[in-house]
Chain A
Amino acid sequence: QVQLVQSGAEVKKPGASVKVSCKASGYTFTSSHMNWVRQAPGQGLEWMGIINPNGGSTSYAQKFQGRVTMTRDTSTSTFYMELSSLRSEDTAVYYCARDTSYWGQGTQVTVSS
């Protein structure tokens, strides 16, 4: 069965970067794009971008352009999302999502001095 297992919670200082991983299993890694979505405390869902595992091409939401980098490692079937220049407003749960059906369990990222 399809599984997306994300890395553990992170606490970062303002200005730092965070890299969240999403290990995929149960399907052919290169067959489906991967999306990243975040949810700030008490807020709704916000799409950050998408990566094509074939070749690694990406498309980012305008809001995150210049601060987000999505990559993948085909040898380990793992996707990564790195967000730089963190600020307190980036405190959120970050999810990877393979199409609408399959979501990771979420990774809490807290930005605090």
Chain B
Amino acid sequence: SQQGEEDPQALSIQEGENATMNCSYKTSINNLQWYRQNSGRGLVHLILIRSNEREKHSGRLRVTLDTSKKSSSLLITASRAADTASYFCASGLTDSWGKLQFGAGTQVVVTP
């Protein structure tokens, strides 16, 4: 079963706009990660935020984490056509190496 839910399921925006997607999870976590997947290929790690952090930035990415609400958000600023992909949040559990619990994903389409 999926650890979390992602919202929205799909997002369509134009280049230059910001894309925001949200993720909720169910159990206590050690960290929360975001991955991107292009059209049925492997996943690529984007960013990790630890359970004691509230916000993290990496390039055009901003991630927030609210452990009290068991939720996280990913913001992609100034979107590009190359950002078209599915985005997944993944919960990293303590001492569960290699076992991430993934959300259902948000499919993002960025139109030139």
Bound together: no
Contact residues of A with B, CB < 8 Å?
none
Contact residues of B with A, CB < 8 Å?
none
